[in-house]
Amino acid sequence: MSTPADEAPDSAGGDAGIGEVGDGITSELVDGLIDDILIAGDESPSGADETDPVARAETERDVHLLDLQRVSAEFANFRKQTERRNAEVASRARGDLAERLLPVLDACDLALGHGAEDVAPIHAALVNALAPVGLEILDPVGEPFDPTRHEAVLHEPAGEDDAGGTQVVVEVLRRGYVWSGRVLRPAMVKVRG
């Protein structure tokens, strides 16, 4: 003869080990099952011996098992949140470091513009070190103007051959940079249109 208390752990994966508690088990589900077990323990048949140590031990076992499953599920959720938060903090820290290196990249660009070719290997090494971990250079010549990625500082009227009224970037005055999808600095551009 099985009681609801005997069946409750199976419905919540009671035979599963501690490491097998999945995302499907929530603390609300476990709390509801604990309440069901406690209510089932209170509603024992009138002819049953209420001091039966085996039934009481089974009920306590079921309650403790569900407590363990709830705590395991909460810990798994906490661990996932912590890992996600740590990954976000690490990504933001790398982005901040890249942002601090932008003046160095600008100085290299200016030096290269003035003919200082000795700076080219340093500039290339910096760009090659930062590009694989998420740095993108915005060099939008010929692209439509996008105010979220470009900063227009000069404007040139549209020519007769320009149709459609869209503004197009015709010159980059200072490169812009994107880090993992986040604009660190918009490109300073001259637009036509």
Assign residue 170 the CATH number of its domain.
2.30.22.10
Q: Which residue has the higher pLDDT, 20 or 126?
A: 126
Q: Based on the structure, what is the number of domains in the chain?
A: 2
Last residue of a domain, one of 45, 68, 85: 85
Q: Is 21 part of a structural domain of the chain?
A: yes
What pLDDT does 4 receive? 45
pLDDT per residue as tens digits for the range 6-33: 444 444 444 444 444 455 566 676 677 6
Structure tokens at 5: 């208390």
Q: Which residue has the higher pLDDT, 188 or 27?
A: 188
Range of the domain at 13: 4-85
Structure tokens at 87: 């990954």
User: How do beta strands 135-138 and 176-179 pair?
Assistant: antiparallel
Taking residues 178-189, what's their average pLDDT? 89
Is the pLDDT at 138 greater than 70, yes or no?
yes
10 in Cβ contact with 63 (< 8 Å): no
Taking residues 153-180, what's their average pLDDT? 83
pTM of the model as a whole: 0.56
**Arithmetic mean of pLDDT over the chain:** 80
For residues 23 and 108, what is the distance between their CA atoms, to the nearest angstrom? 51
For residues 178 and 53, what is the distance between their CA atoms, to the nearest angstrom? 68
